[in-house]
Amino acid sequence: MLERIRAAIPALPPAEQRVARLVLADARSFASLPVGDLAERARVSNPTVVRFCRSVGYDGLADLKRKLAGTVNEGVPFVHRAVDDDDKADDIVVKVIDNTVAALLRYRNAAAGQAIERAIAALTEAGQSGRRIEFYGVGNSGIVAQDAQHKFFRLGVSAAAVIDGHVQIMSATMLKPGDCVVIISNSGRSRDLLDVAEIARRKDARVIAITASDSPLAHLVQGSGPHVLLAADHPESFDRYSPMVSRLLHLTIVDILTTGVALRLGSAGLRPLLQEIKKNLRLTRYAALPGDSNDSTP
């Protein structure tokens, strides 16, 4: 909810912006103070406080306060950071989407372009020279690693997703200089992933870490030669909630890397390959789509 209010500030009138900043400065006090005190602190009128509540999608001050209290208490543990126990389906739709959009916008504004450029260059170099590109992750991050492998192998490069801890150690041990490893971790504290990052570094492979900026994994690769940290910070606690926003952030970063590498590999050889893949996939469909030619559908 706080992320939603922060994202709405640029579109609000100046007076309502002052109310929004009052919420963000001290959400607990805002949820407990009467409208007169809130108006005085924000230097606005009482009706402006109510208008602000409606501008950010709530029925009024009472509705905003009730839901704000739930947000300050960090949602429903082990379910979702933004939702409350008594939320209706409409509330869940708005909160989950707004929470995700706010996190993606925050990443867009905070993303380190230089780090992304270095990661794309390392992956492109590995792909062009036929070196190994491997994606490591466990649990939910393992699913993201599999998605990354699926996207990269379509580019015609040697890519693999390894999601078992023991296999990761064996695979990292067989790395060679010039190979590239992308380690995906929400917490950045998984012992297995820290171990394989160390092994990959000893093997002179390039390590790209997609993780929180203050995690042990981030500190392991940050400022260490050819290795790259792609920080994915978000307000979702990995100890308290299901990895929802973090998973979407990681998938988005994978999409950015895939797009960058595809552009670097060049369209001359890649575009005909992707076109042929699409054609062969189309041939496996049993039902023709409007506009499909007869010779492309069995």
Confidence category of residue 257, pLDDT binned at 50, 70, 90: very high
Dist CA 97 CA 107 (whole Å) = 15
Strand partners, 207: 181
The Cα 273–Cα 111 span in angstroms is: 31
**Mean pLDDT in residue range 140-167:** 91
Rounded CA gap, 167 and 148, in Å? 18
pLDDT digits (tens, 9 = 90+) for 24-33: 888 878 888 8
| Alpha-carbon torsion, ordered 18, 19, 25, 29, to 10 deg | 150
pLDDT of 238 over the 60 cut = no
Has residue 71 got a pLDDT over 80?
A: no
Confidence of residue 295 (pLDDT cuts 50, 70, 90): very low
Q: What is the mean pLDDT of residues 143-147?
A: 94
CA of residue 192 relative to chain centroid, distance: 22
pLDDT for 296: 45
Band of residue 243 on the pLDDT scale cut at 50, 70, 90: low
165 vs 77: which has the higher pLDDT: 165
Residue 205 above 90 pLDDT?
yes
Q: Which band of pLDDT confidence, cut at 50, 70 and 90, is reported for residue 89?
A: confident
Which residue carries 């996939």 as its tokens?
281
What 3-state DSSP class applies to 208? strand
Please say whether the beta carbons of 274 and 210 come within 8 A.
no
* Mean pLDDT, residues 93-122: 85
pLDDT in tens, 12-53: 999 999 999 998 888 878 888 888 999 998 999 999 999 999
Give yes or no for residue 242 having a pLDDT over 80: no
53-85 core/surface letters (b: 16 or more CB in 10 A; e: else): bebbbbeebeebbebbbbbbeebbeeebbbbbe
pLDDT score for 288: 63
Quick one: pLDDT at residue 19? 92
What does the mean pLDDT of the chain come to? Answer: 83
> For the chain, which domains are there?
2-109 (1.10.10.10), 113-280 (3.40.50.10490)
- Higher-pLDDT residue of 149 and 275 is 149
pLDDT of residue 287: 64
pLDDT at 31: 83
Identify the DSSP state of 79: T
Question: Residue 187 has what pLDDT?
Answer: 86
